[in-house]
Amino acid sequence: MNNSNPTLRPRQYQFKLVLLGESAVGKSSVVLRFVKDRFDEYKESTIGAAFLTKTIALENGDTVKFEIWDTAGQERYKSLAPMYYRNANCAVVVYDITQTTSFERAQSWIQELKKQADSNIIIALAGNKIDLSDKRTVSTIEGQNFAEENNLLFFETSAKESTKISDIFTQLANKLVESRAIVAEAAAQQQSRAQDTLNLNNRNAGQGSDTCAC
């Protein structure tokens, strides 16, 4: 799948992206806007599908497929599993510009990522809900400074009004493909997946018949 031969164009990349942030900051809304260009005002938590993909094209014709992991609410009581961070190539940490605690929480998520995730991981920080600027409690400069100090991409977004949402993902995509380490890592992951891991879903796998043992 991953076409890593540098002389062949266009190239196709695939990256795992994890979303992090306090409950109700708009993580699922950011994904919904990005994947379906839609917004739900009174949305229940996404039940049944917190794992989606979206492919975007870069200017040079290469494509980047994001495998998006949403927390499914497991972050609410700090109960995310290590599985969630495993092999993540990039992360979007979201806070709500009207909730100071969510900004503090975003900072601790970033520390957590540095501890748990791959050291090359690329992180974007998104201050969401800027359509509610009259209730703003976290200033742009605070977010920006924190992002600069920690070498993060920074955006102020609105999933509701579709402000800067696609920018997060295109900038992440560009930065990811520029990083040789990450491209190599993602390619190696996919290769190992293709090569010697088993496809359990394929009922005809192996040489023998698949008669029931029960």
Partner 1 sequence: MDEEYDIIILGTGLTECVLSGIFSVEGKKVLHIDRNDHYGGECASLNLTQLFRKFRNGEAPPEALGRDRDYNIDLIPKFMMANEELVKALVYTDVTRYVEFKLVSGSMVCRDQKISKVPATVGEALVSPLLGFFEKRRAKKFLEFVGNWKEDDIQTHNGLDLDKHTMTQVYEHFGLDTNSQEFIGHAMALHLNESYKTRPARETIERVMLYVTSVARYGSSPYIYPMYGLGELPQGFARLSAIYGGTYMLDTPVDEIVCDSDGKFVGVKSGNDTVKAKLVIGDPSYFQSRTRTIGKVVRSICLLEHPIPNSDNADSTQIIVPQAQANRKHDIYIASVSSTHCVVPKNFWVASVSTIVETDNPIAEIEMGIKLLGPIKERFDIVSDLHVPTETGAESQIYISKSYDATSHFVSVFEDIKDIYKRITGNELALSKRPTAEEEQAAFESNR
Ligand X SMILES: Nc1nc2c(ncn2[C@@H]2O[C@H](COP(=O)(O)OP(=O)(O)OP(=O)(O)O)[C@@H](O)[C@H]2O)c(=O)[nH]1
Query: Does position 28 bind Mg ion by CB under 5 A?
Result: yes
Size of the site for partner 1 (CB under 8 A): 40
Q: Is 10 helix (H, G, I), strand (E, B) or coil?
A: coil
Query: Does position 151 bind partner 1 by CB under 8 A?
Result: no
Query: Does position 197 bind partner 1 by CB under 8 A?
Result: yes
Residue 193 DSSP label: H
The minimum distance between CB 75 and partner 1, in angstroms, equals 9
Contact 26, 93 (CB under 8 A): no
**Residue 61 touches which member of partner 1, ligand X, Mg ion, none, C-beta under 5-8 Å by kind:** none
CA distance 57 to 76: 34
Binding residue for partner 1, selected from 82, 134, 141, 180, defined by CB under 8 A? 82
Query: Does position 157 bind Mg ion by CB under 5 A?
Result: no
Listing DSSP states for 39-94 in one string gives: --TTPPP--S--EEEEEEE-TTS-EEEEEEE--TTTTTTT---HHHHTT--EEEEE
Residues in CB range of 81: below 8 A, 6 or more apart: 74
Query: Does position 8 bind partner 1 by CB under 8 A?
Result: no
Query: Does position 211 bind partner 1 by CB under 8 A?
Result: yes
Query: Which of these ranges, 78-86, 105-113, 158-166, 170-178, lies near partner 1 under the rule CB under 8 A?
Result: 78-86
Size of the site for Mg ion (CB under 5 A): 2
Query: Does position 42 bind partner 1 by CB under 8 A?
Result: no
Tokens 């979201």 correspond to what residue?
94
Binding site for Mg ion (CB under 5 A): 27-28
